[in-house]
Amino acid sequence: MKTINKRRAALVLLAALAGWTAPARAAESEGLTIGLIASSTAEQVVAEWQPLADALARELKQPVQLYASKNYNEVAEALKAGRIQVAWLNNQQSIELVEKDIANVFAQGVRLDGSLGYKSLLLVRADSPLKSLADLLAKPGAYTLSMGGKTSVSGYLAPAYYAFAKGRVDPEKSFKQVSYGRSHHENFLALTDGKAELVTNNTEEVPRYEAEFAERWKKVRVLWESPLIPNDPLVMRKDVAQDTQQRVRRFFTSYGRTESEKATLKAINGLSGYRASSNYQLRPVVDLELFDRLTKAMALQSQDPAGFQVTMDQLTQRAGRLEAVLSASRLTLGR
């Protein structure tokens, strides 16, 4: 069994490296493909999820394949194209899928401590002179900052709003250099290797660092943490057969009863299980994203008043549309 799992993991990784040109939408009789965002390596994430995928395949009596990528957009685009039917994505990408009526949120991970969220972090080295966010903001242009990709909630959106925008700070003007696009894992290693002075990260990854990089973790200190962000959701394409959708939902929300299942969930970002969820869990991140776009529009108001008004009208319409979609799913779930 271990040999088979290793082969599957290798095939998934090779598919990622090759650009993955599978047909746009395979028949459901050919099975389901689950897409996964990889904060570490694609191979490691696939290995962690493989026991769960095997159990789902037995439950559905059809093949279940895994596809993982560090590039969050690749996973989202594959789901849009129908090459993936179920995915673990971040909240921000899920907003777009819900807004375009492609997929719905159906489950949310629950951590071992029972929490339903995580926090964005700003990390510095333990020997850094910085002791607080106020220290950092009081010295514009003195430090370098490495953030995640701009589709990452904890790597970009949450710190951009809570740490910087609320203090009327423009990162592009307040740091010696700002870089984007590193994964949390890459940011952590860059910081401990002395290649970065300040990096974004999140509390989801800390147990992994403590377990796998204990000596490196001792060299790191948390400078700032955000308010709670909802755990990234599981989403499913709306065109998956209703019977299959129901069986997938039941599987995830009941998984974690045996000792082996508990061990699998613990390996998947320290989870104890999944609970039923809906599109409404995206609400806090919708507010963050809309505020981020509003802040950027406000910065250009004096340069292009007419364009600013158009942008404001678009944001108002979008906010109303999203409110209706999210609230409808909240009622459906019976919250």
C-alpha distances (whole Å) from 325 to each of 37, 298, 321, 329 are 25, 26, 6, 7
Instruction: Summarize pLDDT for 33-48 with one digit per residue, the tens.
Output: 999 999 778 999 999 9
* Pair 156, 184: CB distance under 8 Å: no
Q: pLDDT grade, residue 332 (50/70/90)?
A: low
* Pair 278, 105: CB distance under 8 Å: yes
Q: Which residue has the tokens 């979008």?
A: 318
Task: Assess whether pLDDT exceeds 90 at residue 191.
Answer: yes
Instruction: Provide the Cα torsion 223, 207, 5, 55; round to 10°.
Output: -110
- The total of other beta-carbon atoms located within 10 Å of residue 223's CB is 19
Task: Assess whether pLDDT exceeds 90 at residue 210.
Answer: yes
Q: pLDDT grade, residue 68 (50/70/90)?
A: very high
99: tokens are: 């807004």
Non-local (6+) Cβ contacts of 188 within 8 A are 123, 199, 201, 205, 209, 213, 216, 220
| 178 vs 290, more confident | 178
* Pair 54, 105: CB distance under 8 Å: no
| 165 vs 146, more confident | 146
| Rounded mean pLDDT, 72-92 | 94
- The predicted structure's pLDDT at residue 258: 97
**What b/e sequence results for 188-199 when a residue is b if at least 16 CB atoms lie within 10 Å of its CB, and e otherwise?**
bbbbbeeebbbb
- The predicted structure's pLDDT at residue 12: 43
| Rounded mean pLDDT, 86-115 | 94
- The predicted structure's pLDDT at residue 333: 52
